[in-house]
Amino acid sequence: MRLNDLSAQVAADFLKAFNRPPRWIVAAPGRVNVIGEHTDYNDGFVLPMAIEFYAVMAADRPPGGENRVLIHSTAESEPASIDLSAPLRPSPLKWSNYPRGVIAGFLERGINLGGLDVFLRSTVPLGGGLSSSAALEVSTATLIEAVSGKKLDPVEKALLCQKAEHEFANVPCGIMDQFISVMGRESHLLLLDCRTRKTELVPMRDPSVELLISNTNVRHELGSGQYAKRRAQCEAAACVLGVPSLRDAQPASLQSARGKMEDVVFRRARHVIGENERTVQAAAAVRASQWQKVGDLMYASHKSLRDDYEVSCAELDAIVEIAEGIGPQGGVYGCRMTGGGFGGCTVALVKTDAVQAVTQQIGAAYKEKTGLTATIFGSRPAAGATVIKG
Ligand code: GLA
């Protein structure tokens, strides 16, 4: 759904729920990471883009002037009621912790938002590895900026949202998802240096290629604890190598230290070091429209995530194999899992004129291999968070 239509829909949702039109409407996108996976918390490089799927919030002051934020969501049966007169803490109502944590971040900075009635509708698939949670956090932050008239610096805004995820949702994520949801730009990928936080827009407007996202529609539970475990293994590797983070390590120094670390730690580090290199190369190849080179780097990234980092799963591997089987003759340059892993989505670089045929082929072959139905869709690189009304 186009953002204008989605915003009109949320305005209508608000009217229905609260009996008056909203005063503010804001949107923040989800993202797909083209390459640079599990590098953000190693001070490395990532190359995501915002997608045309959004968490949209419509809001107004409560007529009774209550000092609380009440959020109705199309995805949840229970609304979130966040009392602003007491210190904010994580709540058993899990989904409410994303907006809750963001509100807490603004209050900490002395930015008082005042009471709000809010209606939320998100088109970012939940739990699909497309950053539905970052979209919700950044949407909340954008709403608070609009109602308070206090705009944060974009880096500070993204970091505030990341902190909300750490402290209220208990997920030790890196900075990629919140940065791209804040800073995405239409027709561009974003090359982000996660150490310096310097960003570089990489134009991607060649009409002959598209990114095709395939949702496996599985999410393996074991994923949750594994993320923190990977972070710890990377820190262990950096410690053995005597560097502040794996960003500073070279393939040669890793090789010579191989005997000093567990094999699993060695393989985790090999992934991160290689992935940083691939990401920088991929950004240059996108700039030069060298699509087969980008595709090859995507396949190499997937293999490394599957074998060395061990965050893939049978369903993700199945789609990547199908894509590889279709090959460049069939219109696919490359494909890889995207996001944290253990389910969620793949991203493929596909020739525009082959998108329909490739969608059909991946869908049919995935069904045959796994018995499951994939959801397959394209997206152009979208803009970051915006105030639509207010
Ligand atoms: C999740 C995290 C990100 C990043 C990716 C893996 O999406 O939220 O910060 O670490 O996993 O690249």
Whether the predicted pLDDT of 36 surpasses 70: yes
Exactly one of 177, 193, 206, 248 is catalytic; which is it? 177
Whether the predicted pLDDT of 127 surpasses 90: no
Sign of CA dihedral 101, 104, 109, 114: positive
Average pLDDT of 62-71?
Answer: 97
Read off the tokens for 47. Answer: 């190359």
Give 220's pLDDT tier (boundaries 50, 70, 90): confident
| Residue 287 CA to ligand 1 centre (angstroms) | 24
| Boundaries of every domain in the chain | 3-204+382-389, 209-379
Whether the predicted pLDDT of 42 surpasses 70: yes
Whether the predicted pLDDT of 329 surpasses 90: yes
Q: How many whole angstroms separate alpha carbon 286 and alpha carbon 171? A: 31
Instruction: Please check whether residue 22 is in contact with residue 59, taking contact to mean a CB–CB distance below 8 angstroms.
Output: yes
According to CATH, the topology of domain 3-204+382-389 is Ribosomal Protein S5; domain 2 (3.30.230)
By most ligand atoms within 8 Å of CB, the mutation choice from 33, 34, 39, 40 for ligand 1 is 40
Residue nearest to atom 1 of ligand 1 (CA): 340
Same fold, 3-204+382-389 and 209-379: no
Q: How many whole angstroms separate alpha carbon 317 and alpha carbon 296? A: 16
Whether the predicted pLDDT of 221 surpasses 80: no
Average pLDDT of 354-360?
Answer: 98
177 is catalytic: yes
Average pLDDT of 19-31?
Answer: 98
Would you state the pLDDT for residue 6?
A: 98
Would you state the pLDDT for residue 223?
A: 59
Whether the predicted pLDDT of 114 surpasses 70: yes
Q: What are 345's strand-pairing partners?
A: 215, 338
pLDDT tens, position by position, 76-106: 999 999 999 999 999 999 999 999 999 999 9
Q: Is 114 left (phi over 0), alpha (psi -120 to 50) or beta?
A: left
Sign of CA dihedral 133, 51, 333, 361: positive
Instruction: Please check whether residue 317 is in contact with residue 307, taking contact to mean a CB–CB distance below 8 angstroms.
Output: no
What percent of the chain is predicted at pLDDT more than 70?
A: 99
Q: How many whole angstroms separate alpha carbon 35 and alpha carbon 285? A: 12
| Residue 315 CA to ligand 1 centre (angstroms) | 19
By most ligand atoms within 8 Å of CB, the mutation choice from 161, 177, 309 for ligand 1 is 177
Average pLDDT of 17-34?
Answer: 98
Atom from ligand 1 closest to the CA of residue 39: 12
Read off the tokens for 10. Answer: 């949320």
Whether the predicted pLDDT of 382 surpasses 90: yes
Distances 171 to 9, 69, 156, 231, 345 between C-alpha atoms, Å: 31, 23, 19, 12, 19
Whether the predicted pLDDT of 222 surpasses 70: no
Instruction: Please check whether residue 226 is in contact with residue 384, taking contact to mean a CB–CB distance below 8 angstroms.
Output: no
CATH 3.30.70.890 for domain 209-379, yes or no, is yes
Whether the predicted pLDDT of 191 surpasses 70: yes
| Residue 366 CA to ligand 1 centre (angstroms) | 25
Q: How many whole angstroms separate alpha carbon 127 and alpha carbon 331? A: 29
Q: List alpha helices for the chain, DSSP H.
A: 3-18, 97-108, 132-148, 154-168, 176-183, 223-241, 251-256, 263-287, 291-307, 314-326, 355-370
Distances 37 to 21, 142, 228, 295 between C-alpha atoms, Å: 42, 26, 14, 15
- Which H/E stretch holds residue 122? strand 116-122
